[in-house]
Amino acid sequence: MEQKEFTITAFSENHIGLLNRITIIFTRRHINIESLTVSGSSIPGIHKFTIVVRETQEKVEKVIKQIEKQVEVLKAFYHPEEEIIHQEIALYKVPTEKLLDSTDLEKTIREHNARILEVTKDYTVIEKTGHKEETSRLFEKLNNFGVLQFTRSGRIAITKLNKELLTDYLREADELKQEISIN
C-alpha cells in the first residue's frame, strides 16, 4: 500500500498523561508524527488532538482503533489531504537594521503575504500563516537577511464536510442511548 499524508483528529477529555499514551501508540507502530497540535474544541471541556502522519491507510486505521481504546478519548477520525483545510503559523525574528537598510526585506514580506508583528530597535518579528511549504519558502528568503529565531506551529485543520464530526457522533450516540432506554 502507498504511504500518504493523513490528518488524524482525536477528541477527548483533558486528562494528565493522555498525550503521552497517544504518542506511545505511534511509537509502538513505528509511525513518525510529522505535526501535533492540541487545543480546545468547539465543545466546552473537550480537547482536540490534530496529528499529521505519512503512512498507509491500513496502518492509520489501526492507529485510530488504538486511540479510541483510551478511556478519555470520545472519538477519533482520519482524513487524507484532499478532505481537509489546514494552516500553520510561523514566526521569524530578523534584525531590525535589515528592515531599515533597504526595501528588500519589506518587499519579501509583502510578496509572501506575511505581516510584521513587532518592531524593536534590535529585532523585527514577522508572522506568516500558510502551509508548511509556504512558511519554509519564506524562511529561505528571510535567511538571506539573517534570521535570529524561527518557529512554526503544528497543523490546525478542519474538514471540508458541512458538519462537525464529533457533534454528529455524540448526537447519534445520544439517540441510540435513548432508543435503548425506551426499549
Q: Domain residues of the chain, as ranges? A: 4-85+157-182, 87-156
4-85+157-182 and 87-156 agree in CATH topology: yes
In sequence order, which residues have a C-beta less than 8 Å from that of residue 91 and are 6 or more positions away? Answer: 117, 125, 126, 127, 149, 150, 151, 152
Dihedral angle, C-alpha 72, 86, 118, 116, nearest 10 °: 180
Query: Domain 87-156 - what CATH class?
Result: alpha beta
Predicted local confidence at residue 96, as pLDDT: 96
Task: Read off the pLDDT of residues 62-88 as tens digits, 9 standing for 90 and up.
Answer: 999 999 999 899 999 999 999 999 999
Predicted local confidence at residue 87, as pLDDT: 95
C-alpha dist (Å) from residue 6 to 37, 58, 158: 14, 11, 13
Instruction: Decide if pLDDT at 112 tops 90.
Output: yes
Q: What is the pTM of this model?
A: 0.82
Confidence of residue 181 (pLDDT cuts 50, 70, 90): low
Enter the C-alpha cell of residue 39: 487545543
Q: Rounded to whole angstroms, how far apart are CA atoms 128 and 114?
A: 5
Enter the C-alpha cell of residue 144: 538571506
Please, are residues 158 and 42 in contact by the beta-carbon 8 Å criterion? no
**Count of CB atoms within 10 A of residue 146's CB?**
11
Query: Domain 4-85+157-182 - what CATH class?
Result: alpha beta
Instruction: Decide if pLDDT at 171 tops 80.
Output: no
Please, are residues 46 and 11 in contact by the beta-carbon 8 Å criterion? yes
